[in-house]
Amino acid sequence: MNQIGPIFRALLRNKVGALLLALQIALTMTIIVNAIHMIENRSSMMARESGMDEANQFHLMYVGYKDSFNERVAVETDLLEIRKLNGVVDATQINSTPLSGGGWSMGLTTTPNSQDGTPVSLYFVDDHGLNTLGVELVAGENFSQTEVTYRLSNDKQWPQNILLTEAAAKNLFPDLTPAEMIGQTVFIRDDEPMTIKGIIDHLQAPWVQWSNVNNVMLVPQRGLWNANRYLVRTAPGERDRLMREVEELLLAKRDGRLIRNVTAMDEQRDDAYQDFFALQTVLWVIVTVLTLVTALGIVGMVSFTVNQRRKQIGTRRALGATKGDIMRQFMLENLLITGSGLIIGVASSIALNIWLVDTFSLPRIGWHYLPIAMVVLVIVGQLAVLGPARKAANLSPALATRTT
Amino acid sequence: MLKMTSVRKTFRTDTIETHALRDFDLQVEEGDFVAVTGPSGSGKTTFLNVAGLLETFDDGDYQLDGKSVQGMNDRQLAQLRNEKIGFIFQSFNLLPDLNLFDNVDVPLRYRGFNSAERKQRIEQALETVGLANRMGHYPAQLSGGQQQRVAIARALAGSPRFLLADEPTGNLDSNMASGVLDLLSEINAQGTTIIMVTHDPSLAQRAQRNIFVRDGQVTEVQTGTNIQELLQQTAQV
Ligand SMILES: Nc1ncnc2c1ncn2[C@@H]1O[C@H](COP(=O)(O)OP(=O)(O)O)[C@@H](O)[C@H]1O
Ligand SMILES: [Mg+2]
């Protein structure tokens, strides 16, 4: 360590080369830190619970194409028959599901005609909705069978009672406990009142990147639309069989409809996060390549320096440097360059993150990324120097007299 | 004391073997000032490198201060170089990115002296060579003669027993060369043993002892011998 003073002073004499390498390291750190931050951010988004029992659920779409197809008869008989199938836990009609990327949202307010509404996504379900989705009531009650009504494409009216996720209700009534939220009135379409009948623990909106993804409202209605969807929950291990059986059951009715998109919920999850996966892969590749390029840059730069300084190294050996002294000299020199690069890197990492936060509303970087990245890059730098430094240490002391 | 007995050194490449030293016998006493002359390629630098532990040898025995250096490991050799030997090179070999102070400091740091002792030694060594007032300068800011003085200060700072110089005046004009030789004579007068390779007969005359190397072997010559003649004879053989 007692070589550090002269090494530092010598570096200051050769600022440009050292500075360029330091800047490369700073850039590498900046990109690595933010890339890993984005990777982790996506991972934590992917780790969020949809609120459903994904391993045991699937859904399918059906579309009537004959005039004779009666949506209302179909939904009533279909659901009765599906629920009777061996291995089916429950089934409901639903307009959309979490992770599907398509759905319906509205604004709710606590006073009529108020400007700042709370956005919620809507799922139309019947009294079997909760059980089929696999969500729990925190307070209040489920819909009763009798309050489930039918909704036509052009209906504008909203039913009396609704269920809300706790997150949505907290947005509306920050100061109330779930029990106190029961019976509260919220307004939809400016001034139509609805009553909170129950609070459910957790359920995601269909859009995984939506900032209000935890705001969900369940509405006790069945749709009589052109295309409708059933969600089916099965006993563990029975789903794959029932996906075929339910489809066959509906097709066997030959009542003039098409069955489409029979989809397992976890398959749906993979689809929903496919872009995230792709982004993470690209970012990992960037992180790896950039680290490698930086390491190779260090190897190249130090090899070049060693070659340039053959005579100096021989002279140092003649003056009493051991092989270890020569190794240490190059390691220390690299440590100083890497170190100053990393100090710049801390500042630029934070700067890039601030810009990303502002521009793409990414979350703030966790401070722990910085020391970890610094340690990793110091290790990478020292490993990269190892080869050329060893070569330098093995140069003959006779180079002091033999080179001109 | 430095004693070589039948030392051999052979350089081998794919195509040729060069016997740089063969049965090289030499004893240098404490306080000697030995000038080494000889034709180019005769083995002078090889001898100095072996003597200074910069190169190993193949056969024979070499004792430095009564101890055989055969079988010493790299660390021990480095320590011996550091403590007992000072080197002066034809092209000065100062480290261009270090100022004079730091240049003289190089061997002292390897020695492990504390900073107070290093400072004192550096200042005194630079004082001795008359450059104490330029400690913050860089080698490129000095003339050749001044650079060689710094190199001498660097060699001296660790108080070595032996000073080995390979054509120390080879890159200097005669004026500067003479100044450097004055300095070496002074140092020798203080008790440091000096072995100096030179191709300049007039400088060799100023050493107390002259040896002549030919085909890797030593011949003792009387100081004051016309070395120019010897060189010409060798050329004719
Ligand atoms: N590293 C080496 N490899 C091969 N041959 C060498 C090497 N170093 C020196 N020689 C040869 O050894 C002989 C002695 O060289 P040297 O001691 O440098 O001579 P001098 O210093 O007297 O001019 C020369 O023939 C030279 O070519
Ligand atoms: Mg030579």
Query: SS3 sequence, A8-37?
Result: HHHHHHCHHHHHHHHHHHHHHHHHHHHHHH
What pLDDT is stored for residue A243 in this prediction? 96
- Please name the member of A5, A14, A402 whose beta carbon is closest to the beta carbon of B97: A14
ipTM: 0.95
User: Phi and psi (nearest 5°) for B223?
Assistant: -60, 135
The CA B35 to ligand 2 mean position distance, Å, reads 13
Q: Is the pLDDT of residue A363 over 90?
A: no
Residues of chain A contacting B79 with CB distance shorter than 8 Å: 320, 322
**Cβ B136 under 6 angstroms from ligand 1:** no
pLDDT score of B237 more than 70: no
Q: Is the CB of B40 under 6 A from ligand 1?
A: yes
Task: Judge contact between B43 and B34, C-beta under 8 A.
Answer: no
Comparing A367 with B212, the larger pLDDT belongs to B212
Residue A198 above 60 pLDDT? Answer: yes
Q: How high is the pLDDT of residue A165? A: 97
What gap in Å lies between CA B48 and CA B1, rounded to an integer?
15
3 state SS of B52: coil
Spatial contact of B52 and B166, defined as CB atoms under 8 Å apart: no
Could you identify the atom of ligand 1 that is nearest to the CA of residue B197? 21
Kindly give the number of the ligand 1 atom that is closest to the alpha carbon of B47: 17
Res. B181: pLDDT tops 70: yes
Identity of the residue numbered A181: M
Q: For atom 3 of ligand 1, which residue has the closest CA?
A: B11
Both structure tokens of B221:
């010559």
Does A1 have pLDDT greater than 70? Answer: no
pLDDT digits (tens, 9 = 90+) for A330-355: 999 999 999 999 999 999 999 999 99
What local confidence, expressed as pLDDT, does residue B236 receive? 59
Pick among B11, B18, B49 to test the A interface (most A CBs inside 10 A): B49
Computed over every residue of chain A, the mean pLDDT equals 93
Q: H or E element: which one contains A5? A: helix A4-13
CB contacts of A13 in chain B (<8 Å) are 97, 138
Helix extents (H) in chain B: 44-51, 74-84, 100-111, 115-128, 144-157, 174-189, 201-204, 227-236
Q: Report pLDDT for A67.
A: 86
Question: Could you tell me the distance, in angstroms and rounded to a whole number, from the CA of residue B106 to the centre of ligand 2?
Answer: 24
Q: Is B171 on the interface with A (CB under 8 A)?
A: no
pLDDT tier, A17 (very low <50, low <70, confident <90, very high otherwise):
confident
Tens digit of each residue's pLDDT (9 = 90 or more) over A235-264:
999 999 999 999 999 999 988 899 999 999
| Statement: residue A294 has pLDDT above 80 | yes
Neighbours of ion ligand 2 (CB under 5 A): B 45
Query: What pLDDT is stored for residue A404 in this prediction?
Result: 67
pLDDT in tens, A96-128: 999 999 999 999 999 998 888 899 999 999 999
Interval B2-29 mean pLDDT: 94
Distance separating the N- and C-terminal Cα atoms of chain B: 34
- B78 → closest Cβ in A311, A312, A317: A317
Which of B40, B79, B106 is the best mutation test for A, with the most CBs of A within 10 A? B106
Q: Strand pairing partners for A218?
A: A123, A163
Q: What is the pLDDT of residue A190?
A: 85
Q: Where are the alpha helices (DSSP H) in A197-322?
A: 239-252, 265-272, 274-308, 310-318
pLDDT above 70 for A144: yes
- Section A278-305 average pLDDT: 94
Q: What is the pLDDT of residues A169-183, one digit of tens each?
A: 999 999 999 999 999
> So where are chain B's domains?
32-57+68-236
Using CA atoms, how far apart are residues B89 and B87, in angstroms rounded to an integer? 6
Q: Which of B193, B142, B192 is nearest to B172 (CA)?
A: B142
Question: CA-to-CA distance for A297 and A305, rounded, in angstroms?
Answer: 12
State in Å: Cα B41 to ligand 2 middle: 7
* CB contact at 8 A, A34 and A365: yes
Q: What b/e string do you get for A276-286 counting C-beta neighbours within 10 Å, with b at 16 or more? A: beeebeebeee
Q: Does A398 touch chain B (CB under 8 A)?
A: yes
Using a CB-CB cut-off of 8 Å, the residues of chain B touching A398 are: 49, 54-55
CB-based contact A319 B79, cutoff 8 Å: no
Taking contacts as CB-CB distances below 8 angstroms, the residues of chain A near B166 are: 401
* pLDDT value for B193: 97
Cα separation, B191 vs A377, in Å, equals 53
Q: Is the CB of B46 under 6 A from ligand 1?
A: yes
Is any Cβ of chain A less than 8 angstroms from the Cβ of B97?
A: yes
Residue B67, burial from CB neighbour count under 10 angstroms (0-12, 13-18, 19+): exposed
* pLDDT tens readout for residues A25-74: 999 999 999 999 999 989 999 999 999 999 999 999 999 888 888 889 99
At A342, which helix (H) or strand (E)?
Answer: helix A323-360
| Length, in residues, of chain B | 237
Helix (H, G, I), strand (E, B) or coil at B203: helix
| Domain at B32-57+68-236: CATH code | 3.40.50.300
| Contact partners, residue A277, CB within 8 Å, separation at least 6 | none
User: Which chain A residue shows the shortest CA-CA distance from B52?
Assistant: A318
pLDDT in the model for residue B73: 95
User: Quick check: CB of B139 below 6 Å from ligand 1?
Assistant: no
Q: Using a CB-CB distance cutoff of 8 angstroms, which residues of chain A are in contact with residue B74?
A: 322-323
Secondary structure element (H or E) that encloses residue A398, with its range: none
Q: Tell whether the model's pLDDT for residue B223 goes beyond 80.
A: no
Task: From A217, A258, A20, select the one nearest A122 (Cα to Cα).
Answer: A217
pLDDT over 80 at B231, yes or no: no
Question: Could you give the CA distance from residue A232 to residue A29 in angstroms, rounded to a whole number?
Answer: 48
Residues of A in contact with B109 (CB under 8 A): 2-3, 6
Distance CA A285, CA A294 (A): 14
Question: Is the CB of A312 less than 8 angstroms away from the CB of B95?
Answer: yes
Residue A384 has what pLDDT? 96
pLDDT: which is higher, B46 or A70? B46
Tally of CB atoms within 10 A around B216: 23
Answer whether residue B8 shows pLDDT above 90.
yes
Name the amino acid, one letter, at A124. F
Ligand 1 nearest atom to the CA of residue B44, by list position: 22
Cα distance between residue B128 and residue B117, in whole Å: 16
B223 touches B29 (CB < 8 A): no
Give the pTM: 0.82
The closest alpha carbon to B34, from B205, B233, B154, belongs to B205
A214 Cβ contact list (under 8 Å, min separation 6): A165, A167, A168, A202, A203, A204, A205
Q: Does residue A56 come out as left (phi exceeding 0), alpha (psi in the -120 to 50 range) or beta?
A: alpha
Report d(CA B185, CA B205) in Å as an integer: 12
Q: How many CB atoms lie within 10 A of CB B220?
A: 11
Q: Is the pLDDT of residue A201 over 70?
A: yes
- Best of A401, A402, A404 to mutate (most B CBs within 10 Å, chain B): A401
To the nearest whole Å, the CA of A38 is away from the closest chain B CA by 43
Categorize the per-residue pLDDT at A2 as very low, low, confident or very high, splitting at 50, 70 and 90: confident
Among the listed residues A259, A255, A239, the one whose alpha carbon sits nearest the alpha carbon of residue A91: A239
Distance between CA atoms of residues A203 and A238, nearest Å: 23
Span A374-395, average pLDDT = 96
pLDDT above 80 for B233: no
Q: Is the pLDDT of residue B78 over 80?
A: yes
Dihedral (Cα; A215, A219, A224, A230), 10-degree rounding: 70
DSSP character at residue B190: T
Name the band, by pLDDT with cuts 50, 70 and 90, for residue A18.
confident
Q: Judged by CB atoms within 8 Å, which residues 1-20 of A form the interface with B?
A: 2-3, 5-6, 9-10, 13-14
Confidence (pLDDT) at A260: 92
Question: How many whole angstroms separate alpha carbon B9 and alpha carbon B18?
Answer: 8
Query: Cβ of B54 and A397 within 8 Å?
Result: yes
**Dihedral sign computed on CA atoms, order A274, A279, A282, A288:** negative
Quote the pLDDT of residue A362: 79
